């Protein structure tokens, strides 16, 4: 009888322990499910790593005097940092170009990219994009002295574009429609294209008009032609799906609340 009692008590003890363990597991599991691994990694690090442009005034621009990077897309990045970390200043801004922004996402050196990154079907196969926060069209910057009035005047001319940008395809399609032939020279950065325009290596500099506006000076003009409207989205790595959702929700909340419109005004964008 005594043996049976001991056995029964032992069994109860084991059940108790097991259910205790179970409760402990559920508890830690709960904490895990609250933050998906991609969000948890950012919280553990305490900073959101963001790829931004540093040569696009009003979007992402590094002031050479202060070394400070600011602009519309920096403000967007800060809003996302605030959402994840509760502090808009917890951003680690890294300079990207059209060519480097994808590889930096792939390698995990940045969590998100907010860098005039046009959403298109091909890119959506490689990255998660938020809904659009801005739309712009491809344009042409030329020397005033050349007297060009539109793409139609650029038959046989050379156009400078950035590597891995959508500009070449947009201009090629527009040129085909007009029945003219243009050739392209590709560069890593926009300042290099502007220098090529100034030195006469290229006859026009083509990219999104918002980017071109940062290179406009007394000797140049942006032609009225506009091609292939581009929608910008915030990109993240495929698989970091909780992060993508959080970014998208933030963009949509900011659109709804009018914050995006306010930022567009703040940075004098159209
Ligand atoms: N927005 C265009 C693109 O994503 C132009 C290039 C750039 O963003 O630098 O291809």
Kindly state whether residue 104 falls inside one of the protein's structural domains: yes
Could you identify the atom of ligand 1 that is nearest to the CA of residue 97?
9
Pairing type for strands 55-56 and 134-143 reads unpaired
Query: In angstroms, what is the span from residue 111 Cα to ligand 1's centroid?
Result: 19
Whether residue 143 is found in the same domain as residue 226: yes
- CATH number, position 123: 3.40.190.10
When divided into structural domains, the chain yields a total of: 2
**Residue nearest (by alpha carbon) to ligand 1 atom 8:** 116
Please indicate, yes or no, whether the overall pTM of this predicted structure exceeds 0.95: no
Is residue 48 within 8 Å of 90, Cβ to Cβ? yes
Find the domain containing 203 and state its range: 136-230
Show Cβ contacts of residue 228 under 8 Å, excluding neighbours closer than 6 positions.
Answer: 137, 138, 166, 169, 170, 173, 174
Among 117, 133, 187, which is best to mutate for testing ligand 1, by the most ligand atoms less than 8 A from CB? 117
Q: Is 169 exposed, middle or buried (0-12, 13-18, 19+ CB in 10 A)?
A: middle
Whether residue 42 is found in the same domain as residue 62: yes
Q: Facing residues of 141 across strands?
A: 205, 222
Whether residue 125 is found in the same domain as residue 240: yes
Is residue 220 within 8 Å of 141, Cβ to Cβ? yes
- The pLDDT profile of the chain, 270 residues, written as one tens digit per residue, is 445 544 554 544 444 444 444 433 333 334 445 899 999 999 999 999 999 999 898 999 999 999 999 999 999 999 999 999 999 999 999 999 999 999 999 999 999 999 999 999 999 999 999 999 999 999 999 999 999 999 999 999 999 999 999 999 999 999 999 999 999 999 999 999 999 999 999 999 999 998 998 899 999 999 999 999 999 999 999 999 999 999 999 999 999 999 999 999 999 988
- Measure the CA–CA gap between 246 and 141, rounded to whole angstroms: 37
Q: Residues with beta carbon inside 6 Å of ligand 1? A: 98, 116-118, 162, 165-167, 207-208, 230
């Amino acid at each position: 009888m005594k043996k049976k009692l001991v056995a029964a008590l032992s069994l109860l003890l084991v059940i108790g322990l097991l259910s205790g363990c179970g409760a402990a597991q559920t508890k830690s599991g709960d904490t895990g499910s609250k933050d998906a691994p991609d969000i948890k990694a950012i919280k553990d690090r305490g900073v959101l790593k963001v790829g931004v442009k540093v040569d696009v005034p009003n979007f992402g621009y590094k002031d050479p005097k202060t070394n400070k990077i600011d602009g519309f897309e920096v403000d967007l990045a800060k809003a996302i940092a605030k959402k994840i970390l509760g502090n808009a200043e917890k951003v680690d801004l890294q300079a990207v170009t059209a060519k480097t922004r994808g590889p930096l996402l792939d390698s995990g050196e940045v969590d998100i990219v907010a860098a005039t990154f046009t959403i298109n079907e091909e890119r959506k196969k490689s990255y998660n994009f938020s809904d659009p926060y801005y739309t712009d069209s491809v344009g042409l910057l030329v020397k005033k002295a050349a007297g060009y009035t539109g793409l139609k005047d650029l038959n046989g001319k050379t156009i400078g574009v950035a590597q891995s940008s959508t500009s070449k395809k947009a201009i090629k399609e527009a040129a085909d429609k007009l029945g003219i032939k243009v050739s392209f020279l590709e560069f890593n950065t926009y300042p290099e294209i502007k220098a090529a325009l100034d030195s006469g290596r290229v006859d026009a500099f083509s990219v999104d008009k918002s980017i071109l506006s940062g290179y406009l000076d007394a000797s140049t003009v942006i032609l009225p032609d506009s091609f292939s409207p581009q929608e910008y989205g915030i990109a993240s790595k495929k698989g970091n799906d909780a992060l993508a959702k959080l970014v998208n929700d933030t963009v949509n909340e900011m659109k709804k609340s009018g914050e995006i419109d306010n930022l567009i005004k703040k940075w004098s964008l159209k």
